[in-house]
Amino acid sequence: MTLDHNLLVLVLALLLDRIVGDPDALWMRLQHPVVLFGNAISRIDRMFNRAELHKRVRRRNGVWSIIGLLSASAVAGAVLHWVFSLFGVAGILLEVMCVAVFMAQKSLADHVGAVATGLKDGGLDGGRQAVSRIVGRDPETLDEPAVCRAAIESLAENFSDGVVAPALWYCVFGLPGLFAYKMLNTADSMIGHKSERYADFGWAAARLDDFANWPAARFSILLIAAGAWLRRGRTACQEALRIAARDGGLHRSPNSGRPEAAMAGALDVQLAGPRVYSGIVVMEPMINGSGRETATVADIEDGISVFYASCSMLAGAALVLFLLLL
């Protein structure tokens, strides 16, 4: 695999995902690869994270488990790339479809757009129901502006995790890198949180996920700023960069605050702040505290517009780099 090959496949995969997304009809008949990754992680969890084990043993098991999972997924990606390489142009198209499966442009925009639709059609209850599908906070504690903020935060954070990061890992390392990243990201979402059960076993997965997402979180700032310039003008672009530089580090995550702050600046709206998860209040400072206090449905729709423009800038950057390499 070469960089020019990866860039060409990436551009086509981003285009395919933008148009098709994740068709429900397909995944009702087949298991999505991320579901298979989740099944493997659950099995490892049951085997090596038993309650009777000492915390030190569980942490050690977690380290070796994530190493094994990442190694197995990278090998699977390498084997699949080798199989695709046997079929010439048809193999390139198969790899394009494979990469598109791991991108989340259309599916993310659709899920976030469903929150705006829920608020319009079903009021606060409709918005709470829709946003509960994409965030972990307690929906019954959210008023309408909080529902809107949650949707925008999810859009920004998952732009980095679900679009930019997989694109970068595929671009540099091909299918082995893409498969390993998606395995790691899935593991972090399942076992990387700081609950009593996973504080030790998921420690390695959480730390590695922070490392793996570091470049994408920073690059996403530039992409969101560029998308804001395309959709909302130069001032929105400048504010996205300014707020990201000032407030990107306020989030408890070393990465999530970067794209969230950029989006907050682009839309001139406050994000983050105190939230409730499983009855526990998590206190965080407000990102873009000088922005508008009340987020609206229109802000969700504007955020999706900026998001799609940012995705276009990502595909455009990959295309330009491909042409330069030619």
How do residues 204-261 score in pLDDT, each as one tens digit? 999 999 999 999 999 999 999 999 999 999 999 999 999 999 999 988 889 999 999 9
- So what's the pLDDT on residue 278? 63
Distance (Å, whole) CA 22 – CA 2? 27
User: Worst-scoring range by mean pLDDT, 60-69, 112-121, 267-276, 291-300?
Assistant: 267-276
* 77 contacts 173 by C-beta, under 8 angstroms: no
Asked whether the predicted pLDDT for residue 112 surpasses 90, the reply is: yes
Q: Which residue has the tokens 């490392």?
A: 211
For 219, the domain range is 3-325
- So what's the pLDDT on residue 277? 67
**pLDDT averaged over every residue in the chain:** 93
- So what's the pLDDT on residue 281? 63
Band of pLDDT at residue 137, cut at 50, 70 and 90: confident
- So what's the pLDDT on residue 283? 72
SS3 200: coil
Report the number of distinct structural domains present in the chain: 1
Band of pLDDT at residue 279, cut at 50, 70 and 90: low
Q: What is the pTM of this model?
A: 0.94
E-assigned strand segments in the chain: 271-272, 275-277, 280-282, 286-287
Average pLDDT over residues 68-94: 97
